[in-house]
Structure 1
Amino acid sequence: MLTELEIKLLESDAHRTSRISACNYAIRKEKIEELTQIAFNLYHQSHVMAFWTLEFVCEKKLKSFVPFINSFCEVLPTLKNDSAIRPATKICFFLAKSNHRKNGISLTHDQEHNLIETLIDRLIQDEKVAAKVYCMKALFVFGKKYDWINNELKEILVQDFPNHSAAYKSASRNLLKKLNK
C-alpha cells in the first residue's frame, strides 16, 4: 500500500511546477522525514523524484532538513543516478552557504568533512556538468573556512578545464576569477 506522499511523488514529473507542488505538500503535511527516507533509499521507485522534491524543501526550509544531515552525508557518496546526484549536490551547496552565514545552520566538523570529501570526489569523477557546478560552488563556500580547499579546487579546475564542455568551462572560468582575487 502506497502512502499519500508516495502517490504524490509518482504523480509528479520533472517540471518545476510539479516538483514545487510535491515540495509544498511535503512541507504542509510535515512529511520531510518520509521524503528523506524515500530519497535516501536508492532502490525505492520514487528515489529520484524524492531528491528532486527534497532540493526544493531545502531551498525553502533548510532548517527542517537538519535532523537528516548525518544520513544525507552517509548516502551522498553512494548515489549513482545522475538525476539524484544533481539535486544532492545542490543541497550540499545550500548547506555550505547556510553553514557560512551567521544565523544559518551549523554543520559539525564530521559533516563538513564528509560533504567536502564527497564533493571533491564528485568533481573529479565523470559526472554531468550541473552536478559538477554545484560541487564547485559548494567547495568555494567551504574554502572560505578551509584555505586548502581553494588551492585544491583551483588545481582541479585548471587541470580539467580543457577536457570539458562550454558550460563547464564557463562555470570554472567564473570561479577561477574569484579564486584568483
Structure 2
Amino acid sequence: MTLEEFHKELNYVNTSRENRMKYANKVLNNMGLFPKLIDILFMVDDKVSSRAAWILEFVCAEYIYAMVPYLETFTKNINKIHLDSSVRPVSKVCEFITKAYYAKRPNPIKKALTPKHKERIIEACFDWMINDQKVAPKVYAMESLFLYGTDYKWIHPELTQILEQDFHKQSAGFKARAKRTLLKIKKNETS
C-alpha cells in the first residue's frame, strides 16, 4: 500500500475505539505501514494526521517497540504537533516511551533512547504543561516528567513550580493528578 493509499484509507478512521483498533491491527499485522503512519502523523496541518496519531497511540499501546527505529524522527518532530486531536495521543505515546525506558526489565527502548531523544520528549512535555492544552496531554506529560526527574534533578523543582502555579486554575482531574504527582516528588526527595 502506498503512502497515498494509506492516507486515503485513514480518512475512514473515526473516534470509536473499535474503529481505531481495527486500523491499529492493520498496522500491527503489516509493520510496513508503520513508517507511513509516522509520515502521515507529521503532516501536521492535515486533519488525517490526527487520525494517524490515534492509530499510533493504539499501535504503541500494543507494541511500543515499533517506535525504536523511528525515535529520531518522532522526537525531532513532536514539537510540530499542534492540533488538539493529535497532541493527546502523541503525549500518550511519549508516556509509553518513558515508561518503557524506566521499566525494570531490559528492553529495546532502554537501549535505543538517547539523551537527545529524552531531551526532546522532556521539552515537549514541558511545553504541554505550560501551554494552553487540555487536561489529558498535561497528565501524560506530568507522568513522563516525574519519571525523567528521577535522573535529571532539575526537572522535579520545575515541575513542582508549574503544578503549584497552575493548580487553582485547573480542572478537578488535573488537580487530582497534580496532587498525586507532587506527593510522589516529595517522597522521591526524601528517599
Shorter-normalised TM range: over 0.9
Counterparts of residues 81-96 of structure 1 (less than 5 Å): 81-96=83-98
**Which of 122, 127, 147 is 1:116 aligned to?**
122
Question: C-alpha offsets along residues 7-41 of structure 1, whole Å, 9 cap, x if unaligned?
Answer: 43211201111111110001112211111111111
TM-score (norm 2): 0.89
Q: Residue in 2 aligned with 1:19?
A: 20
- Tell whether the 8 Å contact from 1:48 to 1:83 is kept in structure 2 after alignment: yes
Distance across 1 between alignment mates of 2:162 and 2:24: 35
Report the count of equivalent residues: 180
The alpha-carbon distance between structure 1 residues 175 and 52, as it changes in their structure 2 partners (threshold 3 A), is same
Q: Residue in 2 aligned with 1:152?
A: 158
1:103 and 2:86 aligned? no
Report the Cα offset of residue 114 of structure 1. 0.9
1:126 is paired with a residue whose SS is: coil
Q: Residue in 2 aligned with 1:133?
A: 139
Q: Residue in 2 aligned with 1:77?
A: 79
Percent of aligned positions with the same letter in both sequences?
Answer: 33
Distance across 2 between alignment mates of 1:178 and 1:11: 41
Report the Cα offset of residue 126 of structure 1. 0.7
Report the Cα offset of residue 45 of structure 1. 4.2
Q: Residue in 2 aligned with 1:60?
A: 62
- Tell whether the 8 Å contact from 1:76 to 1:118 is kept in structure 2 after alignment: yes
Amino acid at match of 1:86: R
Distance across 2 between alignment mates of 1:22 and 1:8: 9
Amino acid at match of 2:24: C
Report the Cα offset of residue 83 of structure 1. 0.5
1:127 is paired with a residue whose SS is: coil
Report the Cα offset of residue 42 of structure 1. 1.2
Amino acid at match of 2:169: N
Structure 2, gaps ≥5 residues long: none
Distance across 2 between alignment mates of 1:42 and 1:120: 20
Q: Which runs of 4+ in 1 moved over 4 A?
A: none
Q: Residue in 2 aligned with 1:28?
A: 29
Distance across 2 between alignment mates of 1:162 and 1:43: 33
Distance across 1 between alignment mates of 2:127 and 2:71: 19
Report the Cα offset of residue 66 of structure 1. 1.1
